[in-house]
Structure 1
Amino acid sequence: MESITVSTVSLRLRQYWVLTKPRVSQLAVFCAVIGMFLATPAVPPWQTVIAATIGIWLLAAAAFAINCLIEEQVDARMARTAHRPTARGDIGALQIIAMSGVVGGLGMTVLYTLVNPLTMWLTFATFVGYAIIYTVILKPRTPQNIVIGGLSGAMPPALGWAAVADSVPAEAWLLVLIIFIWTPPHFWALALYRTKDYENAGLPMLPVTHGQKLTRLHILLYSVALFATTLLPYVIRMSGLVYLASAVALGLVFVGYAWKLYRSYSDELARRLFRYSILYLSLLFAALLVDHWL
């Protein structure tokens, strides 16, 4: 009986963990931490870094859980998301709302008391932007959902910067802009090789509403815009040659993938671009940090 109880509790905890979309939240928190270190020429206080990281992650986890709840029927019709506990009906709505309320409330408390009110309110606004504005209003209504709603997903560097500096200067918003422009080609690459999934779910993603060819063109144009945008930290002297060399090298590979995808489509190439886009953003922000200390 005891082993069954332990096993049941362990399974339930894993199900709740899946609702927080851990891989997505890890990348968001990583970008927030980079923002913290870029906000000051010195090493930021470790207490602030730890508290802000925990608080931002908790609110992100709460937002992702609400997203899973709202999209439970959509997720059930998509092969990529059908395994989620909400899609399978393993966890009820009240449980998710309670979990999100507790986790999100704890995150807000941590940010308000141990970091600063600005970071709490910005993170809460990001929560509302993702869980409500993007998920409820934009995603089911417009093929530009990921473009407009991408602002909430682009906010982590500004949240991290606010945590340390208690302000959000132009440099922080430039980091937000980079992620904002990165988001469409990242998600549209996924949508290309998952088009059937989105058709089954009834979501108006760009490949569904406007076709594969136009989506590939949009990916290429956004990739070129992303390349140009990533040069701006060097242009405004926010970073130096180490970052510039990294941004150029990483960006050329990104544009190269987008160009190949535009010229000759295959699902495998779309998958490679999607996977590379995640690595790209991680390495780009890591280069910002390395350059900052050098």
Structure 2
Amino acid sequence: MGTPPLAAGPGLLARARLVISLFKLRIGTLIMVTALVGLAVTPGASLAAWQVAVLALSVLLASASAGAFNQYAEHEADRLMGRTRGRAFATGAIERHPRWLWVMALLLVGAVAAAAAALNAAAAAYVFLGAFFYGVVYTLWLKRRTPWNIVVGGLAGSFAVLAGAAAANPVPGAQAWLLALVLFLWTPPHFWALAIANRPEYERAGVPMLPVVVGDARAARIVFASTVLLVAASLLPLFACGAGGVYAAGAIGGGGWFLLKTWQLARRPSRATAMPAFFASLIQLSALLVAATLDALL
């Protein structure tokens, strides 16, 4: 098959960084963490350390495959947006050669096969579905067709939680399903806040993100309403699964901060209020994941 070609340019280390940048490892790391949290909150078989490592790496590699495919498919649109125009396929720093598709496919097949061999078929299926929904359902089927594209795209994180839970028990329990629901509900307000901040760029790229279609003001109100629904869902484990005080502190603290920032966004829709809401979504999710893990361990 050969090595996928790189355009002529800087030295080996800089080229390695370009290749690594294709795989969206920051997003992949977050998705990997959600899988480990899904494992932590699920009673079931005790995994060996090597099995936990396989779970983490399989989710990370599957996410990396989907992230690289997203950049491969979106290279032309990426050139039209300030936040993405520096990506390697968009700039031509890495040649967009079909051989890269083989690399992505091999990563995904390897990740799914490793999960099936080391864990079980259910965990492997969820690993695959997470990558499939982001790479194919979101990127190819929905992104340019509907302003609700990111709602379905949010299933990628949900499937990671279920992959982790299925590693302990092929039939995930209530708390794992509720955490998957939280990940599903988290993605829209998280991404729509960013889309409000970057609406002119999405317009220029011809991508029908929600604020492009309905305007910033209405989109901001939808972001706030979505956050209310998210925070309500994040509290359900307190009543349905017996989650304890540590979980309550994380859910209420992180959720309250996200609500405050999206309320401010709804009152004054602008980039100046959208970016704090976006960063608040990261704080909310981080607080919830840490709290869920500590609560399960303690």
When normalised by structure 2's length, the TM-score is: 0.92
How far apart, in 1, do the equivalents of 2:149 and 2:97 lie? 25
Partner of 1:254 in structure 2?
258
Matches within 5 A, 1:177-192: 177-192=181-196
Partner of 1:79 in structure 2?
82
How far apart, in 2, do the equivalents of 1:69 and 1:249 lie? 38
What is the Cα deviation at residue 274 of structure 1? 0.7
What is the Cα deviation at residue 42 of structure 1? 8.1
SS of corresponding position for 2:98: helix
Task: Report if aligned partners of 1:20, 1:65 keep a CA contact under 8 Å in 2.
Answer: yes
Task: Report if aligned partners of 1:36, 1:44 keep a CA contact under 8 Å in 2.
Answer: no
How far apart, in 2, do the equivalents of 1:39 and 1:154 lie? 15
SS of corresponding position for 1:154: helix
What is the Cα deviation at residue 41 of structure 1? 7.0
Partner of 1:10 in structure 2?
13
| Match among 128, 135, 144 for residue 132 of structure 2 | 128
Query: Letter of the aligned partner of 1:267 in structure 2?
Result: R
How far apart, in 2, do the equivalents of 1:112 and 1:293 lie? 26
Give a deviation string over 1:223-261, Cα, whole Å, max 9, x none: 111111111011113411221122112211111111111
How far apart, in 2, do the equivalents of 1:266 and 1:84 lie? 26
Partner of 1:208 in structure 2?
212
Query: Letter of the aligned partner of 2:79 in structure 1?
Result: A
Query: Letter of the aligned partner of 1:217 in structure 2?
Result: R
Partner of 1:266 in structure 2?
270
Q: Report the CA distance shift for 1:88/1:238 in structure 2 as closer, same or farther (over 3 A).
A: farther
| Match among 163, 167, 170 for residue 166 of structure 1 | 170
Partner of 1:46 in structure 2?
49
Q: Percent identity?
A: 33
Corresponding residue pairs, total: 290
Task: Report if aligned partners of 2:123, 2:166 keep a CA contact under 8 Å in 1.
Answer: yes
Partner of 1:155 in structure 2?
159
Query: Letter of the aligned partner of 1:236 in structure 2?
Result: A
More deviation, 49-58/260-269: 260-269
What is the Cα deviation at residue 52 of structure 1? 0.7
How far apart, in 2, do the equivalents of 1:43 and 1:34 lie? 14
| Match among 66, 69, 94 for residue 63 of structure 1 | 66
How far apart, in 1, do the equivalents of 2:255 and 2:47 lie? 29
Matches within 5 A, 1:114-125: 114-125=118-129
How far apart, in 2, do the equivalents of 1:290 and 1:85 lie? 39
Partner of 2:5 in structure 1?
none
How far apart, in 1, do the equivalents of 2:214 and 2:97 lie? 34
Structure 2 unaligned residues grouped into runs of 5+? 1-7
What is the Cα deviation at residue 43 of structure 1? 5.8
How far apart, in 1, do the equivalents of 2:47 and 2:115 lie? 16
How far apart, in 2, do the equivalents of 1:93 and 1:157 lie? 33
| In the alignment, structure 1 residue 91 sits paired with structure 2 residue 95 | yes
How far apart, in 2, do the equivalents of 1:120 and 1:159 lie? 7
How far apart, in 2, do the equivalents of 1:34 and 1:44 lie? 14
Partner of 1:293 in structure 2?
297
Matches within 5 A, 1:225-236: 225-236=229-240
SS of corresponding position for 2:50: helix
Give a deviation string over 1:38-73, Cα, whole Å, max 9, x none: 123786421211111111111111111111111111
When normalised by structure 1's length, the TM-score is: 0.93
